[in-house]
Structure formats: C-alpha cells, structure tokens
C-alpha cells in the first residue's frame, strides 16, 4: 500500500511539472507573439507618419513656390525645423508611452535568449524597479540561466539598461536611447525633404 501511495504521489508530481512546463512555454510563445505584433504596429505607424510628413511638405512647397520664391524658401526652412522638432517630440512622447512594464518584460525575455548563461544587471527607474523586480529575479533569471541584479537608476525615466561582464557590455532600452535611435533614422529623411523643397 505504501508503494501504491508513493507511486500516486510521484505521478501527481510528474503531472504538475508537465503542466507547469507547458504553461511556461505557452506564456513565452504568447509574449514573443505580442512583442512581434507591437514591433510590426510601430513600424507601420512610423511609415505612415513619414509618408504624411513627406506629402505635407511637398504640398506646402508647391503652394509656396507659386508666390514669392525667396519668401517660400525662408518659410520652408522654418517649417522644416518645426516639423522635425514636432515629429521628434511626438516620437519621444510615444516611446515613453509604449515602454510599459508588460513590453519591458517581453523585451527582457527576448534578450534572455540572446544572452543565456551571462550574469547581468538590469537598471531601471525606481518605479519600474519596484514593479519588475520579482519578474526579473524570477522568470527572466530562469530564462537567462544566470544571476541577475536589479538596480534603480535616477537617470532612467522609462525602459531599462541591461549590462553584462560587470558593466563592460550593455544594451540601452531606455526611452532616451530608443528615441535617439529612431530620430537618427528620421532626421536625414526630414532634412532631405526640406532640402528638396528649397531647391524646388
């Protein structure tokens, strides 16, 4: 009878482990799918904004050239700088809003795949450090397969910095770093549009 009871206990444990592993795989797959969907949506929105800015700029240039050529050039320059500032301002604001704790969890899990077995430090804003501490020391650390330190950084307002090898190697996923990277892509396009408008 003791053997039957032990066999039953072992079977229950095995079933629980199998169920937990299946649920974990489902959660990871769902997180990856959501991250891919968010990335695709961001790309589509960025493309739409670029196309609208380009169309607006060309339409404005055509109307301006029909009036006074020199005045049109001055106005186009001023508008170009204003458009760049407005687009980059909207971009920065949208990056801040997009960096939710859920998205950061998805990004961290994706990064864990690329850095398996490497001890790391995750630096976040004080607020996000409180919200994500248990996730990072739990699910993220398990997926990473190495030690993880969570620290708050007053220089980070949204997003996170992931560093390895005692800080020698790091990846910036902060709102500032993401906005800088995206604006570096947008600035040449906006500058080219303004230059073409000036040349007429």
pLDDT digits (tens, 9 = 90+) for 145-163: 888 888 888 888 888 888 8
CA 194 to CA 116: how far, in whole Å? Answer: 46
Q: State the Cα–Cα distance between residues 48 and 52, nearest whole angstrom.
A: 6
Q: Where are the domains of the chain?
A: 2-97+190-199, 101-179
pTM of the model: 0.47
Give every residue of the chain whose pLDDT is below 70, as ranges. Answer: 1, 16-17, 20, 24, 31, 35, 39, 42, 46, 53, 64-96, 186, 190-191, 193-195, 197-200
Distance CA 161, CA 99 (A): 13
- Domain spanning 101-179, CATH architecture: 2-Layer Sandwich (3.30)
């Amino acid at each position: 009878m003791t053997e039957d009871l032990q066999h039953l206990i072992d079977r229950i444990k095995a079933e629980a482990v199998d169920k937990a592993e299946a649920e974990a795989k489902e959660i990871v797959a769902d997180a990856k799918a959501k991250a891919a969907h968010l990335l695709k949506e961001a790309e589509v929105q960025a493309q739409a904004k670029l196309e609208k800015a380009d169309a607006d700029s060309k339409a404005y240039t055509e109307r301006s050239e029909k009036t006074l050529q020199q005045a049109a050039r001055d106005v186009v320059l001023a508008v170009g700088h204003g458009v760049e500032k407005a687009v980059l301002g909207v971009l920065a604001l949208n990056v801040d809003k997009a960096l939710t704790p859920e998205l950061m969890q998805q990004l961290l899990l994706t990064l864990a795949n690329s850095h398996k077995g490497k001890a790391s430090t995750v630096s976040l804003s004080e607020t996000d450090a409180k919200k994500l501490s248990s996730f990072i020391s739990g699910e993220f650390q398990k997926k990473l397969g190495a030690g993880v330190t969570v620290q708050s950084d007053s220089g980070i307002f949204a997003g996170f910095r992931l560093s390895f090898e005692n800080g020698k190697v790091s990846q910036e996923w902060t709102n500032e770093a993401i906005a800088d990277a995206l604006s570096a892509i947008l600035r040449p396009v906006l500058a080219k549009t303004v230059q073409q408008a000036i040349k007429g």
